[in-house]
């Protein structure tokens, strides 16, 4: 378990994937309207957040030759 946690905090792709998941979750919460504190935000803010998260690459980068 400890090596998994250590890799999560030291691996760049894991951190990027986590940031992407947070932004996607935020966008989904805005669009769903189920979170009372986020009801004040317009729906386009959720769409924008989800589109921005989609632009973040979450996989391994191609190795340089």
The answer to whether position 48 is within a domain reads yes
Provide Rg for the chain, Cα atoms.
15
The answer to whether position 61 is within a domain reads no
The overall pTM is greater than 0.85? no
- Alpha helix (H) residue ranges in 1-65: 2-10, 12-32, 43-55
pLDDT the model gives residue 63: 65
Confidence grade of residue 65 (pLDDT, cut at 50, 70, 90): low
The answer to whether position 19 is within a domain reads yes
Name the domain count of the chain.
Answer: 1
Residue, of 37 and 12, whose pLDDT is higher: 37
Which residue range(s) make up the domain with 28?
A: 2-55
The answer to whether position 63 is within a domain reads no
Give the integer Cα–Cα distance in Å for 12 and 51: 21
The answer to whether position 60 is within a domain reads no
Give the integer Cα–Cα distance in Å for 6 and 26: 26
Q: What is the pLDDT of residues 14-59, one digit of tens each?
A: 777 888 888 899 999 988 888 888 888 888 888 998 888 888 765 5
The answer to whether position 62 is within a domain reads no
């Amino acid at each position: 378990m400890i090596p998994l946690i250590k890799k999560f905090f030291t691996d760049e792709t894991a951190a990027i994937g986590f940031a992407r998941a947070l932004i996607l979750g935020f966008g989904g919460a805005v669009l769903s309207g189920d979170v009372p504190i986020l009801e004040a935000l317009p729906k386009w803010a959720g769409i924008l957040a989800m589109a921005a998260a989609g632009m973040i690459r979450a996989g391994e980068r191609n190795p340089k030759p």
